[in-house]
Amino acid sequence: MVEAALLEGGWLDALRRLGAATAVGAIIGLDRELHGKPLGLRTLTVVSIASCALTVAAVRYDLALGDESHETVGRAIQGLMAGIGFLGGGVILHTREDRVHGLTTAALVWLTAALGVVCGLAAWPIVAIALLLALVMLVIGGPLERLLARHPP
């Protein structure tokens, strides 16, 4: 039943799933932000959006092919995302002033890889919604992070 819903869900299902992933990432990121941790609102939201988009797309693809094992696509995506993690890690810098820079960039590298996979699977609702939500977070995330930094708990 759940698998059939994934395959036939369309835009509303994708919006629900990606919207929930955005909310979860933002809530966790907000918590980290309020506690002064190096991972923040934008970074964790982008990671959550990417993970959801990739997962839903992979399941839909396997179901469309009738492959209930999810083995082939799962391995391909696992390898890609592990490899892209090393690339993203290369943009993270730790300064002498105990500041960490580049986490959002690393997450965006990962999101871009995930969206590339989703585009390759032609899961267009997931692509459009994930891209839109990430762009919105990047626009409002910075000002929101700065506002939170000025008013700590």
pLDDT tens digits, one per residue of 41-86: 898 899 889 988 988 887 787 778 887 787 777 887 888 888 888 8
Token readout for 113 is: 């890889």
C-alpha to C-alpha distance for 12 and 21, rounded to whole angstroms: 14
Task: Please give the distance of CA 89 from its chain centroid, rounded to a whole number.
Answer: 16
pLDDT bin (cut points 50, 70, 90) of residue 38 is low
Question: Quick one: how far is CA 40 from the chain centroid?
Answer: 13
Dihedrals phi, psi of 54, to nearest 5 degrees: -65, -45
Output the pLDDT for position 81.
87
Question: pLDDT grade, residue 1 (50/70/90)?
Answer: very low
pLDDT of residue 54: 84
Q: Which long-range contacts (C-beta less than 8 Å, at least 24 apart) are formed by 78-84? A: 80/113, 80/117, 81/54, 81/110, 81/113, 81/114, 84/109, 84/110, 84/113
Q: How many residues does the chain have?
A: 153
Quote the CA–CA distance of 57 and 61 in Å, as a whole number. Answer: 6
Q: What is the DSSP letter of 101?
A: E
pTM for the full predicted model: 0.68
Per the structure block, which two tokens stand in for 107? 């997450």
Q: What number of CA atoms fall less than 13 Å from residue 50's CA on the CB side? A: 25
Both structure tokens of 122: 């032609």
**pLDDT, mean of residues 22-32:** 87
Q: What is the mean pLDDT of the chain?
A: 83
110: nearest Cα among 89, 84, 142, 141: 84
pLDDT for 60: 80
**pLDDT tens digits for range 93-146:** 878 888 888 888 888 989 999 998 898 877 899 999 999 999 999 889 889 989
Is residue 12 over pLDDT 90? no
Supply the DSSP symbol for 92: -
Is the model more confident about 83 or about 91? 83
Whether 39 shows a pLDDT value over 80: the answer reads no
Q: Please give the Cα distance from 59 to 67 (Å, whole number).
A: 9
